[in-house]
Amino acid sequence: MLLLPVLLSLRLPTVGAAQQKCPGYAARNIRQTTNGLAADLHLAGTACNIYGTDLPSLTLTVEYQSATRLHVVIQDQNRTVYQVPESVLPRPNATDPATAATTQLQFNYTTNPFSFAVSRPNGEVLFNTSGSPMVFESQYLRLRTSLPNHPNLYGLGEHSDHFRLNTSNYTRTFWSRDAYGIPQGTNLYGNHPVYVDHRGKNGTHGILFLNSNGMDIKINDTAGQYLEYNTLGGVFDFYFLAGPSPIEVSQQISEVVGKPAMMAYWTFGFHQCRYGYRDVYQVAEVVYNYSQANIPLETMWTDIDYMDARKVFTLDPQRFPLHKMRELVSYLHAHQQHYIVMVDPAVAYQNYSAFNNGKNLDIFMKDADGSIFQGVVWPGVTAFPDWFHPDTQKYWNDEFGSFFNPDTGLDISALWIDMNEAANFCNYPCSDPSGYAAENGFPPKPPPVRNGPAVTLEGFPADFQPPTNAKRQASPRASMLGLPGRKLINPPYTIRNAAGGLSNKTLGTDLVHYNGLVEYDTHNLYGTMMSSASRQALLHRRPGERPLVITRSTFLGAGAHVGHWTGDNVASWEQYEISMTDMLNFASIFQVPMVGSDVCGFSQNTTETLCARWMMLGAFQSFYRNHNELGNIGQEAYRWPMVAEASRRAIDIRYRTLDYLYTAFYTQTQTGKPLMNPMLYIYPEDPKTFSIDAQYFYGDSLLVSPVIEENKTAVDIYLPDDIFYDWNAGFAPVRGNASLVTLSDVNFTTIPLHVRGGSIMPLRIESASTTTELRKKGFHILIAPGLDGKANGSLYLDDGLMIKQPQTSLINFAFNNGTFTMSGHYGYPANVSIERISLCNIGSAPQRVTITGQPNSTFIYDKDTRVVAVDTMISLTQNATVQLPAS
Ligand SMILES: *[C@@H]1O[C@H](CO)[C@@H](O)[C@H](O)[C@H]1NC(C)=O
Ligand SMILES: *[C@@H]1O[C@H](CO)[C@@H](O)[C@H](O)[C@H]1NC(C)=O
Ligand SMILES: *[C@@H]1O[C@H](CO)[C@@H](O)[C@H](O)[C@H]1NC(C)=O
Ligand SMILES: *[C@@H]1O[C@H](CO)[C@@H](O)[C@H](O)[C@H]1NC(C)=O
Ligand SMILES: *[C@@H]1O[C@H](CO)[C@@H](O)[C@H](O)[C@H]1NC(C)=O
Ligand SMILES: *[C@@H]1O[C@H](CO)[C@@H](O)[C@H](O)[C@H]1NC(C)=O
Ligand SMILES: *[C@@H]1O[C@H](CO)[C@@H](O)[C@H](O)[C@H]1NC(C)=O
Ligand SMILES: *[C@@H]1O[C@H](CO)[C@@H](O)[C@H](O)[C@H]1NC(C)=O
Ligand SMILES: *[C@@H]1O[C@H](CO)[C@@H](O)[C@H](O)[C@H]1NC(C)=O
């Protein structure tokens, strides 16, 4: 392709003094390559050495990987500088390289000082570094792009700030941190340095920075609007993604970070957890109480309480004895329910098998003197697995294989992993870990032992009945290994880590991994490496089944292995609201579609109304779990009649729409099309959608608009210029006109939901107490015609469990001018049929409804809601056409 050097004559904004001093680079030896160009970059003047040593020689490579993806890498000539290992994040290949005629992204540069710009064929500049010289030092990289005024930027998480990012005096810090309370404006658990730049009618693009070093990304508008990368190491490795729609940007991100892993059907059921269940009897009581309250409970969870003095891979022999735990799990399985527990990476530094096995395999992180690095986590002094060690996977598989052995151990269905930033309670340098643990009370004291549940649990094994005379007991070096000679603990440039120094509350950044990489470079990968190792360990234990692993810390690409919960949030109305955008960041931008917040809030006491509202909002997260912290009031859904009723109603809707969610999830695993959609993804040309935080689409058809203020039973919601159907009013049509609509009388057991015109939603005809029972229910097809009278939807069916699916169905539904058609691929033997079709927005009662082969179909027309509901029996194994009234 033709790639001529084009000299840019761009206006240089005022540059700050510190930046002026740096000479930048000059490009030489510019040459075309098969799919792009390459050049050598040489320091263009005297080194400024502001935060390290300027590298004298770099190389630039530009590859037009596809019409919509441009890859730009600026790296050291020697390839000594650390880069994110391919073993952690495999890079996409240029499967369909672009030509000058097909590329949607053009790369232009100036040679001296070197700068580059990426623009669309129509001249719209997306990225332009000419305003400030590039800095590439041993411990500091800086690159600034100018942006149009008031840009609409999204992503750059994990964060709990507004969905549309602040663009004035704003810093986003990337450094995994145990971020209790998920405070705004700080670095949290995960790191996804990718942003979406939405320019309305001018299109949307994405920019992914593949770098795992600690960094501050600064967005500011005082000297012209810019975004600036300030990174403690690594190389400049950018993927430019052309969109041009927001959904296409998300799909293009998935081509770089990997398509998300498919999850089992049951994992979308409702989960209950808390920190502070005192013993196995209390866990059983919760299961029992849910069933008594008639609230569907799919999965029961246990936090670190189950461990013996908080040691991973152990059970508290008195409060959570193995034989009782096995009975509990058998009971759950017999009732089509599941059990999940937490595992932390930190292994107690004590004489017990999990530690001894790790020590024998020599897989723990080491100090410089070769001794095992010691930190402090829940059990006291701990060691930390080195996920780069070649034997760590075997270690993890073996520990899982024995502790979670279905025949002799704890037969979990899935896994929850925590504290993997990695969290360490002890601040750097943590010179006296055992003293620190003793002073700060690790492990915490467990509650008194009981020998039976507080109440009689009918239906539970006899062992779960209170004993007649319960006796109380007393309490008990390769390539890209990183430049040598760096200051790994206190680098010259300081990022805004809310924990202070880089090594504070985590592993020392000077620790060296087995393969020679240092923690300074790889800290942000620890959680994601534990995630993939844990996924492998679950697969090893139960080959072929889709594993569910829910992790706290993530990096680019995490969704290909695991799901995420948004960590230790607060039971507050603010965090209830932010839970929506937290989820959207992960599901819609970072390609981690299995995600949700702790429903009702983790830290602090929840309230009845907050918990009622959150149980309903949480029903529209992909991952739906109520979780609570030790010491807070109980918040299981049955605790208040109002919350119980809100939960029953929300779970009823969630379960009836579960196949719609499952289909959307499956679609994302195949195409990257997000299962959750911020409003601007569906209405990208409507500027009023760009800043919306508190409404979103569950799938692409169901608009969720919760009440967000305490004690209010009203909410102002935005409806774009389109037609919607009110779920809570029998699908009566509502014409949106691009303005706010006040919904009043939204009581505490109702969440406003609107079906977007143009959608066909496959619903189950009724809900069930478990997802296993739900799969036996027939379907109800809801047709919600758009303003043009047309509608579309799809349904994916498989066995719900296995990775490899020999027989699946992917059915497309279409409605046009009164004709409903089903077409597609029918492999899965669904033993259920479509039992009802509802068509919205019909002006008057139809004369008849004709279904081929079913001449006398009965139907009901409701003149208030304008909905026609037809009873039918249509097989899900072949194409079908149904004549309905025209909309
Ligand atoms: C790169 O390699 C050259 C040649 O081996 C050597 O002179 C130079 O010091 C190296 N530079 C760095 C930064 O390692
Ligand atoms: C890219 O191609 C290389 C070489 O053929 C291969 O090893 C690698 O797995 C491919 N990467 C992906 C993500 O497919
Ligand atoms: C970039 O280069 C192309 C030719 O390669 C040119 O048509 C275009 O105008 C340039 N864009 C900018 C912003 O200079
Ligand atoms: C934004 O610019 C102002 C004025 O130069 C400066 O005081 C502030 O620190 C900058 N903010 C960030 C996040 O860089
Ligand atoms: C920029 O933000 C910082 C930190 O939040 C604050 O201390 C400072 O006053 C702000 N500066 C301006 C110019 O707004
Ligand atoms: C879209 O492009 C036009 C013409 O270049 C420009 O005036 C307008 O500001 C752009 N809008 C956005 C949101 O960038
Ligand atoms: C580590 O964190 C503690 C507590 O937040 C703080 O007092 C200390 O200054 C930090 N240490 C470093 C080196 O930043
Ligand atoms: C939570 O409620 C309990 C019981 O009323 C009370 O003891 C505790 O202090 C409350 N916690 C907070 C953080 O307010
Ligand atoms: C909501 O009502 C409760 C109970 O009356 C009251 O304590 C609380 O302050 C109210 N909250 C707001 C934000 O008005």
Q: How many helices (H) and strands (E) does the chain have?
A: 15, 46
Number of structural domains in the chain: 4
| 39 in a structural domain | yes
183 pLDDT above the threshold of 60: yes
Give the model's confidence band at 2: pLDDT under 50 very low, under 70 low, under 90 confident, else very high.
very low
Percent of the chain whose predicted confidence (pLDDT) is above 70: 96
**Whether residues 114 and 60 fall in one domain:** yes
Mean pLDDT of 568-572: 98
Check whether 10 has a pLDDT greater than 50: no
Closest to 148 in 3D by CA, of 193, 108, 203: 203
Beta carbons of 129 and 40 less than 8 angstroms apart = no
Is residue 317 a contact partner of residue 308, using CB atoms and an 8 Å limit?
yes
Q: Ligand 6, residue 124: give the atom nearest the CA.
A: 5
> What's the 15 CA to ligand 4 centre distance in angstroms?
12
Spell out which residues line ligand 4, taking CB within 6 angstroms: 169-171, 218, 220, 222
- Ligand 7, closest atom to CA 490? 13
- Kindly tell me if the per-residue pLDDT of 312 is higher than 70: yes
Q: Which residues of 57-74 are buried (b: 16+ CB within 10 A; e: fewer)?
A: ebbbbbbbbbbbbbbbbb
Q: pLDDT at position 472, please?
A: 40
Bigger pLDDT: 856 vs 392:
392
User: Is 721 labeled as catalytic in the residue annotation?
Assistant: no
CA-derived radius of gyration, the chain:
28
Structure tokens at 563: 């799901």
Bridge partners of residue 599, in order along the sequence: 626
Q: What CA–CA distance (Å, rounded) separates 59 from 41?
A: 6
Last residue of one domain, picked from the residues 547, 582, 604: 547
Q: Does one domain contain both 750 and 772?
A: no
The pLDDT confidence band at residue 402, using thresholds 50, 70 and 90, is: very high
Pair 714, 765 in one domain: no
| The pLDDT value given to residue 20 | 53
Answer whether residue 824 shows pLDDT above 90: yes
Q: Are 727 and 786 contained in the same domain?
A: no
Evaluated on CA atoms 613, 617, 623, 624, the torsion sign reads: positive
CA distances, 286 to each of 269, 274, 463, 768, 769 (Å): 16, 10, 16, 19, 16
What secondary structure letter does DSSP report for 96?
Answer: S
In a domain, 712, yes or no: yes
- CATH classification at residue 742: 2.60.40.1180
Residue 468: which pLDDT band, with cuts at 50, 70 and 90? low
Same domain, yes or no: 483 and 342: yes
76 and 182 share one domain: yes
Annotated active-site residue in 178, 418, 519, 598: 418
Protein residue whose Cα sits closest to atom 4 of ligand 1: 78
- Give percent of the chain above pLDDT 90: 92
Give me 33's structure tokens: 């390559």
Q: Which uninterrupted H or E stretch holds 109? A: strand 106-111
* pLDDT score of 144 more than 50: yes
Atom of ligand 2 minimally distant from the CA of 91: 13
- Per the listing, tokens 């520990």 go with 399
Q: Whose CA is nearest to atom 4 of ligand 4?
A: 222
**Do the Cβ atoms of 107 and 3 come closer than 8 Å?**
yes
Q: Do the domain assignments include residue 2?
A: no
pLDDT confidence bin for 11, thresholds 50/70/90: very low
Q: Among 281-295, 464-478, 494-508, which is the least confidently predicted range?
A: 464-478
Q: What is the mean pLDDT of residues 465-475?
A: 53
Residue 473 predicted with pLDDT over 90:
no
Please name every residue paired with 231 in a beta bridge, in sequence order, or none if there are none.
141, 215
Q: Note the pLDDT tens digit of each residue in 20-72.
A: 589 999 999 999 999 999 999 999 999 999 999 999 999 999 999 999 999 99
> Sign of dihedral through CA atoms 690, 696, 697, 703?
negative
Q: CB-based burial of residue 805 (10 Å sphere; 0-12 exposed, 13-18 middle, 19+ buried)?
A: middle
- Token pair for residue 706? 């919760």
Which member of 158, 255, 285, 568 is catalytic? Answer: 568
User: Are residue 87 and residue 203 in the same domain, yes or no?
Assistant: yes
Ligand 3 first shell, C-beta below 6 A: 4, 6, 8, 106, 108, 117, 119, 123, 125
Residue 877's φ and ψ, nearest 5 degrees, are: -120, 0
**How many A from CA of 172 to the centre of ligand 5?**
13
Quick one: 335 and 228 in the same domain? no
Mean pLDDT throughout 210-232? Answer: 97
pLDDT on residue 76: 97
Q: How confident is the model at residue 856 (pLDDT cuts 50, 70, 90)?
A: low
pLDDT at 7 over 90: no
Report d(CA 869, CA 885) in Å as an integer: 11
| Mean pLDDT to the nearest integer, 352-369 | 98
- Structural domain includes residue 664: no
Instruction: Flag whether pLDDT at 475 surpasses 80.
Output: no
The alpha carbon of 709 is separated from its chain's Cα centroid by a whole number of angstroms, namely 26
User: Which among 548, 639, 563, 749 is positioned nearest to 274, based on CA atoms?
Assistant: 639
pLDDT tens per residue across span 586-622: 999 999 999 999 999 999 999 999 999 999 999 999 9
DSSP string spanning 290-305? Answer: HHHHT----EEEE-GG
The helix or strand, by DSSP H or E, that contains position 527, with its residue range, turns out to be helix 526-541
pLDDT at 532 over 70: yes
- Peptide linkage before 113 cis (omega within 30 of 0): yes
Statement: residue 118 has pLDDT above 90? yes
Instruction: Say whether pLDDT at 5 is over 90.
Output: no
- Three-state DSSP state, 400: helix
Whether 568 is catalytic: yes
Distance from residue 149's CA to the centre of ligand 5 (Å): 19
Bridge partners of 819, per DSSP, are 816, 883
Ligand lying nearest the CA atom of residue 687:
6
With respect to residue 658, please indicate whether it lies within any of the assigned structural domains.
no
Above 90 in pLDDT, residue 203? yes
Nearest Cα neighbor of 196 from 726, 796, 690, 617 is 690
Same domain, 699 and 783: no
Residues 389 and 522 in one domain: yes
| Residues 126 and 88 grouped into a single domain | yes
Which residues, 6 or more positions from 80, have their beta carbon under 8 angstroms from its beta carbon?
Answer: 479, 480, 481, 482, 483
pLDDT at 94: 86
Tell which of 755, 782, 807 closes a domain. Answer: 755
* pLDDT at residue number 8: 41
> What are the Cα distances from residue 329, in Å, to 341, 408, 488, 545?
11, 12, 46, 19
Examine the pLDDT at 462 and tell me if it is beyond 70.
yes
Distance 762 CA to ligand 9 centre (A): 40
pLDDT value at residue 855: 65
Tell me if 632 CB under 6 Å of ligand 8.
yes
Q: What is the pLDDT of residue 477?
A: 38
Whether residue 421 lies in the annotated active site: yes
pLDDT for 320 beyond 70:
yes
Q: Residue 465: what pLDDT?
A: 85
Separation between Cα atoms, residue 673 and residue 247, nearest integer Å: 6
Show the domain range for 805. 757-886
* pLDDT in the model for residue 854: 74
| Ligand 8 geometric centre to CA of 631 (Å) | 7
* Residues 208, 214, 215: CA angle, nearest 5 degrees: 60
Ligand 8 binding pocket mutation candidate from 568, 632, 640 (most atoms within 8 A of CB): 632
The strand pairing partners of 682, in sequence order, are none
- The answer to whether residue 566 sits within a structural domain is no
Q: In the listed set 547, 563, 589, which residue is the last one of a domain according to the structure?
A: 547
pLDDT tens for 696-723 read 999 999 999 999 999 999 999 999 999 9
CATH assignment at residue 84: 2.60.40.1760
Are residues 699 and 660 in contact, defined by beta-carbon separation less than 8 angstroms?
A: yes
Residue 138 CA: nearest ligand 1 atom is 13
pLDDT at position 794, please? Answer: 98
- What is the maximal distance between C-alpha atoms in the chain? 89
Residue 537: inside a domain: yes
Answer yes or no: is the C-beta of 633 below 6 A from any ligand 8 atom.
yes
Among 17-21, 55-59, 459-463, 736-740, whose mean pLDDT is lowest?
A: 17-21
Q: Single out the catalytic residue among 63, 279, 421, 835.
A: 421
699 shares its domain with 764:
no
Nearest atom in ligand 1 to the alpha carbon of residue 56 is 13
Distances (CA, A) of 20 to 42, 139, 145, 230, 635: 17, 19, 16, 16, 57
Residue 381 falls inside a structural domain: yes
Q: Tell me the average pLDDT across 563-573.
A: 98
The half-sphere exposure of 792 on its side-chain side, counting CA atoms within 13 A, is: 5
Rounded CA gap, 631 and 339, in Å? Answer: 23
Determine contact, residues 592/621, Cβ cutoff 8 Å.
no
